[in-house]
Chain A
Amino acid sequence: MDNHFQKEIEELRLKVLEMAAYTEKALVQANQAYAERDTDLAQQVIDNDYAINSLECDIDNLSLKLLALAQPVAQDLRIIVGIMRLIVNLERIGDEAVNIAERSLILAHRPPLSYNPTLEELAKVSLEMLRNALTAFKDEDTDAAQRVCDMDARADELDVSVIKKLIDHMLKESPAIERSVHTILISRSLERIADLSTNIAECVIFIVKGVNIKHRCSRI
Chain B
Amino acid sequence: MQPAKNVKMYARNLDFYYGDFKALHDVNLDFGENEVTALIGPSGCGKSTFLRCLNRMNDLIPISRVEGAILLDGDDIYAPRVDVVQLRRRVGMVFQKPNPFPKTIFENVAYGLRVNGVRDKQYIAARVEESLQRAALWDEVKDRLHSSALGLSGGQQQRLCIARALAVEPEILLMDEPASALDPIATQKIEELIHILKKNYTIIIVTHSMQQAARVSDITAFFYMGKLIETGETEIMFTRPKNKQTEDYITGRFG
Contacts and interface: CB of A to CB of B under 8 A. Distances in A.
Nearest to A209: B240
B121 interface: no
A74 B251 contact: yes
B211 interface: yes
A73 B253 contact: no
A50 interface: no
Interface in A1-54: 1, 3, 5-6
Contact of B240 (A6, A71, A72, A210): A210
Interface in B76-123: none
A61 interface: no
Contact of B247 (A1, A71, A74): A74
Nearest to A211: B240
Contacts of A141: none
Interface in A126-160: none
A3 B253 CA distance: 7
Interface string A61-86: 00000000001111111100000000
Given A78-B239, A78-B240, A210-B239, A73 B214 contact: yes
A73 B251 contact: yes
Nearest to B211: A71
Given A1-B255, A74-B246, A210-B239, 17 more contacts: A1-B253, A3-B252, A3-B253, A6-B253, A71-B210, A72-B251, A73-B210, A73-B250, A73-B251, A74-B247, A74-B250, A75-B251, A76-B251, A77-B238, A77-B239, A78-B239, A210-B240
B241 interface: yes
Contacts of B241: 74
A73 B255 contact: no
Contacts of A71: 210-211
A215 B165 CA distance: 49
B201 to A, nearest CB: 26
A80 to B, nearest CB: 12
A74 B246 CA distance: 9
Nearest to B254: A1
Contacts of B210: 71, 73
B212 to A, nearest CB: 11
Contacts of B253: 1, 3, 6
A180 B254 CA distance: 60
20 contacts: A1-B253, A1-B255, A71-B210, A72-B251, A73-B239, A73-B251, A74-B239, A74-B246, A74-B247, A74-B250, A74-B251, A75-B251, A76-B251, A77-B238, A77-B239, A78-B239, A78-B240, A209-B240, A210-B239, A210-B240
Contacts of A75: 247, 251
Contacts of B239: 73-74, 77-78, 210
Interface in B175-202: none
A73 B250 CA distance: 7
A1 to B, nearest CB: 6
Interface string B212-255: 00100000000000000000000000111100001100111111
Nearest to B210: A73
A3 B254 CA distance: 10
A77 B210 CA distance: 13
Contacts of A78: 239-240
